[in-house]
Amino acid sequence: MPSPTRRTTRLSRLLDRVTERRRASAPETERRERADHEQRIRVLEERIDALEALLEALQDSIHREAVRRTHEFEEINRKLQPAKMARALEEHAREHGL
């Protein structure tokens, strides 16, 4: 019959070996996790850069549209000035014999 001390010693040595292997693999796991985090950060930074570019393009587009509409409104206002309107009505009446 094996002695209880021998069994406890074997179990203790086994536990020590498992603990050592676990500790030895911990830095590798931490390095992999750190690399994964760094990769995720790079991907997020690239997405942010792309979103910033899209936002700038949208701002430019909105600005161009605002400028275009401002010019259109200015042209309409210019045409609606009383002197211009009177001349246009007179011309229209002459053309249509009114």
Q: pTM (2 decimals)?
A: 0.49
For residues 42 and 24, what is the distance between their CA atoms, to the nearest angstrom?
28
Residue 78 one-letter amino acid: R
Q: Which residues of the chain have pLDDT under 70?
A: 1-8, 26
Residue 14: both structure tokens together: 């086994």
Q: What is the pLDDT of residue 7?
A: 61
Q: How many CB atoms lie within 10 A of CB 15?
A: 10
Q: What is the pLDDT of residue 19?
A: 81
For residues 41 and 73, what is the distance between their CA atoms, to the nearest angstrom?
47
For residues 58 and 52, what is the distance between their CA atoms, to the nearest angstrom?
10
